[in-house]
Amino acid sequence: MSDDKALVLFSGGQDSTTCLAWALSRFAHVETLGFDYGQRHRIELDVRPRVLAQLRKIDDWGSKLGDDHMLDLAVLGQVSQTALTQNVAIAMQENGLPNTFVPGRNILFMTFAATLAYRRGIKHLITGVCETDYSGYPDCRDDTMKAMQVALNLGMESRFVIHTPLMWIDKANTWKLAEALAGRALVELIREETHSCYNGDRTHHHEWGYGCGTCPACALRAQGWQRYIAT
Protein backbone atom coordinates (compact mmCIF):
# COMPACT_ATOMS: atom_id res chain seq x y z
CA MET A 1 0.00 0.00 0.00
CA SER A 2 1.20 3.50 -0.83
CA ASP A 3 1.74 6.19 1.80
CA ASP A 4 1.18 8.74 -0.97
CA LYS A 5 -2.36 7.62 -1.79
CA ALA A 6 -5.63 8.38 -0.02
CA LEU A 7 -9.29 7.56 -0.49
CA VAL A 8 -11.84 10.12 0.74
CA LEU A 9 -15.43 9.20 1.53
CA PHE A 10 -17.04 12.06 -0.38
CA SER A 11 -20.77 12.68 -0.19
CA GLY A 12 -20.88 16.17 -1.68
CA GLY A 13 -21.53 17.86 1.65
CA GLN A 14 -19.62 20.46 3.65
CA ASP A 15 -17.76 18.03 5.88
CA SER A 16 -16.61 15.59 3.21
CA THR A 17 -15.57 18.45 0.91
CA THR A 18 -13.45 19.94 3.68
CA CYS A 19 -11.92 16.51 4.30
CA LEU A 20 -11.19 16.13 0.60
CA ALA A 21 -9.39 19.48 0.60
CA TRP A 22 -7.48 18.34 3.69
CA ALA A 23 -6.40 15.18 1.88
CA LEU A 24 -5.40 17.06 -1.27
CA SER A 25 -3.15 19.29 0.81
CA ARG A 26 -1.34 16.22 2.23
CA PHE A 27 -1.27 13.38 -0.29
CA ALA A 28 0.12 13.09 -3.80
CA HIS A 29 -2.82 11.07 -5.13
CA VAL A 30 -6.39 11.25 -3.84
CA GLU A 31 -9.41 9.28 -5.00
CA THR A 32 -13.02 9.77 -3.92
CA LEU A 33 -15.85 7.41 -3.06
CA GLY A 34 -19.58 8.08 -2.84
CA PHE A 35 -22.52 5.87 -1.90
CA ASP A 36 -26.04 5.71 -3.27
CA TYR A 37 -28.11 4.07 -0.54
CA GLY A 38 -31.52 5.45 -1.44
CA GLN A 39 -31.07 8.57 0.68
CA ARG A 40 -33.96 11.04 0.51
CA HIS A 41 -31.40 13.85 0.07
CA ARG A 42 -30.02 12.14 -3.02
CA ILE A 43 -29.41 15.58 -4.52
CA GLU A 44 -26.06 15.44 -2.71
CA LEU A 45 -24.96 12.94 -5.36
CA ASP A 46 -25.89 15.42 -8.09
CA VAL A 47 -23.65 18.17 -6.66
CA ARG A 48 -20.61 15.90 -6.30
CA PRO A 49 -19.35 16.30 -9.90
CA ARG A 50 -19.65 20.09 -9.70
CA VAL A 51 -17.69 20.22 -6.46
CA LEU A 52 -14.99 17.95 -7.85
CA ALA A 53 -14.71 20.05 -11.00
CA GLN A 54 -14.20 23.21 -8.95
CA LEU A 55 -11.66 21.58 -6.64
CA ARG A 56 -9.56 20.62 -9.66
CA LYS A 57 -9.07 24.33 -10.34
CA ILE A 58 -7.47 25.05 -6.95
CA ASP A 59 -3.65 25.16 -6.84
CA ASP A 60 -2.18 21.84 -8.02
CA TRP A 61 -5.14 19.80 -6.83
CA GLY A 62 -6.20 18.94 -10.35
CA SER A 63 -3.09 16.83 -10.83
CA LYS A 64 -3.61 15.10 -7.48
CA LEU A 65 -7.31 14.32 -7.75
CA GLY A 66 -7.77 10.88 -9.24
CA ASP A 67 -10.71 8.61 -9.95
CA ASP A 68 -14.14 9.12 -8.43
CA HIS A 69 -15.99 5.94 -7.48
CA MET A 70 -19.70 5.43 -6.78
CA LEU A 71 -21.09 2.32 -5.09
CA ASP A 72 -24.70 1.21 -5.08
CA LEU A 73 -25.73 0.37 -1.52
CA ALA A 74 -29.47 0.39 -2.14
CA VAL A 75 -29.80 -2.58 0.20
CA LEU A 76 -29.01 -0.26 3.13
CA GLY A 77 -32.06 1.83 2.33
CA GLN A 78 -34.15 -1.29 1.91
CA VAL A 79 -33.37 -2.73 5.34
CA SER A 80 -33.45 0.53 7.33
CA GLN A 81 -36.46 2.53 8.45
CA THR A 82 -35.13 6.03 9.02
CA ALA A 83 -35.92 9.62 8.13
CA LEU A 84 -32.98 9.59 5.70
CA THR A 85 -34.24 6.60 3.74
CA GLN A 86 -38.01 7.11 3.97
CA ASN A 87 -40.28 10.12 3.64
CA VAL A 88 -41.13 10.51 7.32
CA ALA A 89 -40.87 13.46 9.66
CA ILE A 90 -37.56 13.98 11.41
CA ALA A 91 -37.94 13.32 15.14
CA MET A 92 -36.21 11.99 18.24
CA GLN A 93 -36.66 8.32 19.10
CA GLU A 94 -37.21 6.66 22.45
CA ASN A 95 -33.57 5.51 22.51
CA GLY A 96 -32.39 9.14 22.49
CA LEU A 97 -31.16 9.08 18.89
CA PRO A 98 -32.73 11.06 16.04
CA ASN A 99 -34.53 8.98 13.43
CA THR A 100 -32.06 10.34 10.87
CA PHE A 101 -29.58 7.80 12.27
CA VAL A 102 -29.09 5.01 9.72
CA PRO A 103 -27.87 1.97 11.70
CA GLY A 104 -24.69 0.48 10.29
CA ARG A 105 -24.20 3.18 7.67
CA ASN A 106 -20.69 4.33 8.55
CA ILE A 107 -19.63 0.80 9.43
CA LEU A 108 -20.66 -0.35 5.95
CA PHE A 109 -19.15 2.74 4.33
CA MET A 110 -15.77 2.13 5.94
CA THR A 111 -15.85 -1.57 5.08
CA PHE A 112 -16.56 -0.92 1.41
CA ALA A 113 -14.03 1.91 1.35
CA ALA A 114 -11.36 -0.43 2.69
CA THR A 115 -12.34 -3.09 0.17
CA LEU A 116 -11.91 -0.62 -2.69
CA ALA A 117 -8.69 0.77 -1.20
CA TYR A 118 -7.28 -2.75 -0.82
CA ARG A 119 -7.73 -3.40 -4.54
CA ARG A 120 -6.20 -0.05 -5.50
CA GLY A 121 -3.25 -0.16 -3.12
CA ILE A 122 -4.44 2.80 -1.05
CA LYS A 123 -3.45 2.97 2.60
CA HIS A 124 -5.13 6.11 3.92
CA LEU A 125 -8.92 6.38 4.39
CA ILE A 126 -10.41 9.80 5.18
CA THR A 127 -13.92 10.38 6.51
CA GLY A 128 -15.76 13.46 7.80
CA VAL A 129 -17.26 11.93 10.92
CA CYS A 130 -17.28 14.13 14.01
CA GLU A 131 -18.45 13.85 17.61
CA THR A 132 -18.16 17.56 18.47
CA ASP A 133 -20.98 19.18 16.47
CA TYR A 134 -23.13 16.21 15.48
CA SER A 135 -26.52 14.57 15.95
CA GLY A 136 -25.37 11.92 18.40
CA TYR A 137 -24.79 9.15 15.88
CA PRO A 138 -22.77 6.40 17.61
CA ASP A 139 -21.01 5.42 14.37
CA CYS A 140 -19.48 8.91 14.15
CA ARG A 141 -17.56 8.57 17.41
CA ASP A 142 -13.80 8.37 17.67
CA ASP A 143 -14.03 5.02 19.47
CA THR A 144 -16.03 3.58 16.57
CA MET A 145 -13.47 4.71 14.00
CA LYS A 146 -10.57 3.36 16.04
CA ALA A 147 -12.35 0.03 16.41
CA MET A 148 -13.05 -0.01 12.66
CA GLN A 149 -9.38 0.55 11.88
CA VAL A 150 -8.41 -2.39 14.07
CA ALA A 151 -11.11 -4.64 12.60
CA LEU A 152 -10.28 -3.77 8.99
CA ASN A 153 -6.58 -4.30 9.48
CA LEU A 154 -7.12 -7.63 11.19
CA GLY A 155 -9.76 -8.80 8.73
CA MET A 156 -7.82 -7.78 5.62
CA GLU A 157 -4.30 -8.34 6.93
CA SER A 158 -3.48 -4.75 6.01
CA ARG A 159 -2.24 -1.48 7.50
CA PHE A 160 -5.04 0.96 6.74
CA VAL A 161 -4.98 4.30 8.52
CA ILE A 162 -8.35 5.98 9.11
CA HIS A 163 -8.14 9.78 9.33
CA THR A 164 -10.92 11.89 10.86
CA PRO A 165 -9.83 15.54 10.43
CA LEU A 166 -13.09 16.94 11.83
CA MET A 167 -13.51 14.65 14.83
CA TRP A 168 -12.68 17.23 17.50
CA ILE A 169 -13.73 20.51 15.85
CA ASP A 170 -17.14 22.17 15.62
CA LYS A 171 -18.82 23.49 12.49
CA ALA A 172 -17.40 26.99 12.94
CA ASN A 173 -13.90 25.56 12.94
CA THR A 174 -14.79 23.38 9.95
CA TRP A 175 -15.42 26.59 8.01
CA LYS A 176 -12.14 27.98 9.39
CA LEU A 177 -10.28 24.84 8.35
CA ALA A 178 -11.57 25.23 4.79
CA GLU A 179 -10.33 28.81 4.71
CA ALA A 180 -6.95 27.78 6.08
CA LEU A 181 -6.61 25.07 3.42
CA ALA A 182 -7.46 27.12 0.33
CA GLY A 183 -8.69 30.57 1.30
CA ARG A 184 -12.03 32.17 0.60
CA ALA A 185 -12.29 30.39 -2.75
CA LEU A 186 -12.85 27.07 -0.97
CA VAL A 187 -15.24 28.64 1.53
CA GLU A 188 -17.33 30.02 -1.32
CA LEU A 189 -17.26 26.71 -3.16
CA ILE A 190 -18.54 24.92 -0.05
CA ARG A 191 -21.15 27.59 0.59
CA GLU A 192 -22.57 27.62 -2.93
CA GLU A 193 -22.08 24.09 -4.27
CA THR A 194 -22.10 21.54 -1.42
CA HIS A 195 -25.25 20.06 0.06
CA SER A 196 -26.03 19.14 3.67
CA CYS A 197 -29.82 19.49 3.99
CA TYR A 198 -31.54 16.25 5.00
CA ASN A 199 -34.64 17.27 3.05
CA GLY A 200 -32.69 17.67 -0.19
CA ASP A 201 -33.81 21.30 -0.58
CA ARG A 202 -31.90 23.25 -3.25
CA THR A 203 -34.57 25.94 -3.71
CA HIS A 204 -33.91 28.06 -0.62
CA HIS A 205 -30.65 29.99 -0.53
CA HIS A 206 -29.17 31.26 2.72
CA GLU A 207 -25.92 33.03 3.52
CA TRP A 208 -24.46 29.63 4.48
CA GLY A 209 -25.72 27.83 1.35
CA TYR A 210 -28.78 25.93 0.11
CA GLY A 211 -31.21 24.02 2.30
CA CYS A 212 -34.58 23.97 4.01
CA GLY A 213 -33.13 25.89 6.94
CA THR A 214 -34.97 23.85 9.58
CA CYS A 215 -33.63 20.28 9.56
CA PRO A 216 -30.82 19.33 11.98
CA ALA A 217 -28.17 19.39 9.25
CA CYS A 218 -29.17 22.89 8.17
CA ALA A 219 -29.28 24.07 11.77
CA LEU A 220 -25.73 22.84 12.45
CA ARG A 221 -24.40 24.36 9.24
CA ALA A 222 -26.13 27.71 9.86
CA GLN A 223 -25.00 27.95 13.48
CA GLY A 224 -21.45 27.13 12.49
CA TRP A 225 -21.49 29.77 9.77
CA GLN A 226 -22.70 32.44 12.19
CA ARG A 227 -19.93 31.63 14.67
CA TYR A 228 -17.41 31.53 11.83
CA ILE A 229 -18.24 34.97 10.44
CA ALA A 230 -18.38 36.44 13.94
CA THR A 231 -14.70 35.70 14.55
Q: What's the mean per-residue pLDDT of the chain?
A: 94
CATH H-level superfamily of 2-195 = HUPs (3.40.50.620)
Indicate the angle between helix axes 43-55 and 14-24, nearest 10 degrees. Answer: 30
Task: Please choose, from the candidates 140, 133, 209, the residue with its C-alpha nearest in 3D space to the C-alpha of residue 171.
Answer: 133
- At 96 the pLDDT is 76
Cα R_g (the chain), whole angstroms: 17
pLDDT beneath 50, residues of the chain? none
CA dist., res. 175 & res. 229, Å (int): 9
CB 194 within 8 A of CB 209: yes
Domain limits, the chain: 2-195
**Whole-prediction pTM value?**
0.94
- At 101 the pLDDT is 83
- At 133 the pLDDT is 81
- At 93 the pLDDT is 81
Per-residue model confidence as pLDDT tens digits over 127-180: 999 999 877 899 999 999 999 999 999 999 999 999 999 999 999 999 999 999
CB 2 within 8 A of CB 121: yes
Query: Which residues face 122 on adjacent strands?
Result: 2
Instruction: Specify the length of the chain in residues.
Output: 231
